[in-house]
Amino acid sequence: MSQPEQGPCPPETLDITQKETGNIVQGKKEFAVEVFNWCKCSQRNVTLDCDGFQTVEKPDPVQMSISGFQCILLQGRDIIPFSRVHFKYAFDDEFPFYVFSSAPICPPN
């Protein structure tokens, strides 16, 4: 049985990395998150699964906003090819973000 077609930008083309900054915010460790778009197409309406996400440091709402159990990057605007989005948060431990959805926007051939 063949695998379903994932389109031009499967979820793994959005690479999420994070690291501790070394800063402490309200007694919690601060983490810097980077989401890099490896796809040759822009990706619009990129959302991360944020079910259970907690932070004492509110992320910059232009970079990342929380809506229910989803985190919306760049207010739904395009993440252009080979570029990155950054945001920070602070809590006890690193949160396991993963891509919930995105809409690739590819130029016509």
Per-residue pLDDT for the chain (109 aa), expressed as one digit of tens each?
333 345 688 889 999 999 999 999 999 999 999 999 999 999 999 999 999 999 999 999 999 999 999 999 999 999 999 999 999 999 999 999 999 999 999 877 6
Whole-angstrom Cα distance, residue 49 to residue 99?
6
Which H helix or E strand runs over 85? strand 84-91
- The whole-model pTM stands at 0.88
Phi, psi angles (nearest 5°) of residue 58? -70, 125
Short-list 61, 56, 79, CA closest to 99? 79
Q: Are strands 70-73 and 14-25 parallel, antiparallel or unpaired?
A: unpaired
pLDDT of residue 86: 97
SS3 102: strand
